Amino acid sequence: MESIVVCLQIPRFELTVAAGDRAELLGVPAVLAPEPGASQQVGEVSLAAEAFGIHAGMRLGEALSRCPRLMLVAPDPAGVADRWEGVLVALESIGAAVEAGRPGLACFEGRGLLRMYGGGPSRVLAAARGAVGIPARFGVAPSRFAAVAAASRARVRHPVLVAGGERRVREFLAPLSVSLLRLAAVEELRGLPGSLEQLGLLTLGELAALPIASVADRFGRAGELAHLLASGGDTPLRTRTPVEILREGLDLPEASSGAQLERALALLIDRVLARPERRGRTLRSVVLSALLVERGGTWRERLTFREALGDPVRMRLALTPRLARLPAPAASLRLSVDGFGPAAGEQRGLFDDPASERVARLREAIRQTRAAAGPDAALRILPVDPGSRFPERRAVLTPFEG
């Protein structure tokens, strides 16, 4: 039985999230500003900016010269990740196994859902639309790339459905521009449409009509893949395992940087490790994010530890240097667990020394105390900003880790 891939597309997702309550920005020429430290290329662009010929990935200087009154919207990577995670979880809540592309683009296999919801794809789409709650475009086709292409031609209330076998998919894709290959979430295909256009290959049909050996000879692996996509084929979906969200945040009353921020991070690490949902598991990867002062947007960085960790000291050593990359003082800091490792994954020495035995006993005592009296049972005082002129800002109580 042929597969049915459903693609959800939310146009200008990152720009919309970054604009937040300033919805008027979407009606004027506006672009997502480059992230601090990243290459000076603009992100997603508003419709009005597109009218000036500006597109995502254009150099900032060129965009500004095309439209001098262009508004630059500070990027909000943490907000985008949160909202996008919400969309993916909403899709998973209807039973979909989701492959997450870039924020604003997701695909899932719809064949199983058809049985679950009965009727045609319209019921699955209605369920997905209801769960997501954000105006989105939907495309349905037998392959991922065709579904993405269908979604890019759809309207919010009018999904595009491509039914039939590979031949029907080829017919649907044939008149479409090769620039659609950029939407296939494959890094090596990013630059290919430009090269194809220079050679006079403007549509996917023209690309599919070429012998695959010639395309592979000229463009290598990327050409082979592009030919496969243009011919209606695709690789299988790589769906994600639904994730458990575990996060801790801290509002910083004074815009913080330097030592204060390091103490806030130490506090967050202690709090994450003390969460009962962790169930003794180590942490494989975490996401550190911050809300920057003066509407400076957000900052977000993901860190995968060299080995799964459960030790707050080693986590601090790994995470603290990342704080130096913050482009501005932070108004709040947040630490989320991105992936868990095995429970107590750290190897111990062959012979336990008395000190580690004492620590183990202390940990066990704390665990039992918490089990009996709740998470507030064992706390320690952590100096957050010892030099502050306001006494209530100097110290906080944080979970005690033995």
Partner 1 sequence: MSGPRRLSIPRRVPVTARDEDGQPLSIDGREVDAVRESWLIEDRWWTERPLRRRYWEVVTTCGRNEIVFHDLVSGRWWRQR
User: Which residues contribute to the site for partner 1 (CB under 8 A)?
Assistant: 250, 254, 267, 271, 274, 375-376, 379, 381, 389-399
- Non-local (6+) Cβ contacts of 307 within 8 A are 341, 345, 346
Report CA 4 to chain centroid distance, whole Å.
24
Q: Least Å distance between CB 375 and partner 1?
A: 5
Name the token pair of 148. 């993405």
Q: Least Å distance between CB 337 and partner 1?
A: 17
Task: Tell me the residue ranges of DSSP E strands in 311-361.
Answer: 330-343
20 vs 133, beta carbon nearer partner 1: 20
- Non-local (6+) Cβ contacts of 377 within 8 A are 366, 369, 370
197 vs 277, beta carbon nearer partner 1: 277
Is 377:397 a contact under the CB 8 Å cutoff? Answer: no
Q: Least Å distance between CB 297 and partner 1?
A: 18
Q: Least Å distance between CB 138 and partner 1?
A: 39
Q: Least Å distance between CB 49 and partner 1?
A: 31
82 vs 248, beta carbon nearer partner 1: 248
Other C-beta atoms within 10 Å of 320: how many?
A: 14
Q: Least Å distance between CB 137 and partner 1?
A: 39
Give the residue carrying structure tokens 């690789």.
235
Q: Least Å distance between CB 389 and partner 1?
A: 5
Is 196:178 a contact under the CB 8 Å cutoff? Answer: yes
Which amino acid is it at 280?
A: G
62 vs 254, beta carbon nearer partner 1: 254
Name the token pair of 182. 């950029």
Q: How far apart are CA 69 and CA 72, in angstroms?
A: 9
179 vs 257, beta carbon nearer partner 1: 257
Q: Least Å distance between CB 388 and partner 1?
A: 9
- Non-local (6+) Cβ contacts of 277 within 8 A are 244, 246
98 vs 250, beta carbon nearer partner 1: 250
66 vs 393, beta carbon nearer partner 1: 393
Is 144:5 a contact under the CB 8 Å cutoff? Answer: yes
C-alpha gyration radius of the chain: 25
Q: Least Å distance between CB 392 and partner 1?
A: 5
* Half-sphere exposure (Cβ direction) of 93: Cα atoms closer than 13 Å: 13
237 vs 382, beta carbon nearer partner 1: 382
Residue 10: φ, ψ to 5°: -115, 105
By CB atoms closer than 10 A (0-12, 13-18, 19+), residue 211 is exposed
104 vs 399, beta carbon nearer partner 1: 399
Is 253:261 a contact under the CB 8 Å cutoff? Answer: no
SS3 assignment, position 187: helix
48 vs 377, beta carbon nearer partner 1: 377
Q: Least Å distance between CB 28 and partner 1?
A: 26
* Helix 258-273 with 312-323: angle, nearest 10 deg: 140
Q: Least Å distance between CB 333 and partner 1?
A: 11
Is 237:108 a contact under the CB 8 Å cutoff? Answer: yes
Q: How far apart are CA 58 and CA 302, in angstroms?
A: 26
254 vs 307, beta carbon nearer partner 1: 254
